[in-house]
Amino acid sequence: MPEATRGQRSLVWTLAVLTTVSYGALYHAQPLLAVAAEHERGWSRTQTGLAFTLALLVTALVAPGVGRALDARGGRALVGGGAGLGGLAFVLLACTSGYLAFVLGWLLAGVAMALTFYEAAFTVLGQQVGGAARTRSTLTITLMAGLASTIFVPLTTALLAAGGLRGALLGLAALLLVVGVLAWRVLPDHQGGAPGTVRPPFTPDRAFVRLTLAFTLARIVTVGVGLQLAPLLLAAGYAPALAAALTGLAGLAALPGRVVFVPLLGRLGVLPLTLGLFAGLGLGTLLLRFPSAPPLTVSGIVLFGMASGALTLARAELLARQCPPETFGTANGRMARPVNLAQACTPLGVGWLYTLSGGYGGSLTLLGVLAGLGVWAARGTAAREGPGPSISGGAARLDGSAKE
């Protein structure tokens, strides 16, 4: 096996492991850790929810700075250090019992999320891998990280049962520290070029602004539906076990959605495929307005899950074709801020809509409309591509032409 291939595979699998552990420990384990903190320390759901919301806001606010730093320095210290910072945040949460320290720990975890989640991983990947290999590598990372909840929900449950909140936090901290050391050993220290080299400035253009709007709307839809799906099914009379299984189906459907993205990319082109995914996201959301018709409900869940999973790949692909590797991190960070702010604020918005309307129909209709607006926003970014995507080692415009 050529040395370049071995190094490339090590990079991809390290990023895959790191994002899986980071999403699992810092994001998917949070609801279980919050309930345990409420029981052991006497806090309310509002208090634990506020700490995590502040963490998500921190993730959004620091994203542009993280992107610029990754462009300038590469991922070794930043991404590896981010996992280590997440581990230290959990050690703080385990060793202190005051609420202010609890909030501080989650604020540090918010910075760790910005340094270890998809935006950072895709930036490091794009600095080292180009063309079709980058697309395949992105698929590998997202397929593995897509299993984070499947792995870490039962793992966190077992850790809580064995050692309580403190034991679970220390166990998750150890995993984060281990992957931080792994990233430090494998990821490149610098993306190339002499230190101090002047990099081309990133100036958001009309296409970038509209893509940012489109994926911000998509995040509102995915978070809004995810929050309401289980309560919607329970309110419609589904048994708790069936409601839980169907809710899990939405996450499971994201995996085949990502698998079919790559062959469809070759047939349709990235922009037409992305428009179809936004439309599928909206249609799946609207089908959930009919929970009394199980076939429509299941179809909506599968369509919604597949579209939301594939949109993760579409976002990275579109951005990579618009921006050269030298400024990909900066552009990704700029896009991540409104997207992550939307993620942090959507729970409040859908809760307000439910309180106002007393049901889920109005909010699901609004979310379906927002997905349709995402189609409109993304469609205005560039001319439609031909069937064969232009994937090369360099960046390409959305219309498939090479970018100088």
Q: Residue 172: which CATH number?
A: 1.20.1250.20
Same domain as 341, residue 225: yes
Same domain as 370, residue 279: yes
Same domain as 157, residue 230: no
Q: Specify whether the CB–CB gap between 15 and 124 falls below 8 A.
A: yes
Q: Does 400 reside within a domain?
A: no
Q: Which one of 155, 186, 217 terminates a domain?
A: 186
Token pair for 23: 């999403």
Start-to-end C-alpha separation, the chain: 32
- Domain total of the chain: 2
Same domain as 143, residue 58: yes
Same domain as 248, residue 167: no
Closest CA to 157 of 140, 176, 171, 173: 171
Same domain as 301, residue 243: yes
Amino acid letter, residue 282: G
Same domain as 151, residue 95: yes
Q: What is the pLDDT of residue 397?
A: 35
Same domain as 54, residue 163: yes
Domain ranges, residue 15: 3-186
Q: Does 43 reside within a domain?
A: yes
Same domain as 211, residue 129: no
Token pair for 388: 């064969």
Q: What is the pLDDT of residue 382?
A: 56
Q: Which one of 186, 217, 239 terminates a domain?
A: 186
The low-confidence residues of the chain, meaning pLDDT below 50, are: 1-3, 192, 194, 383-404
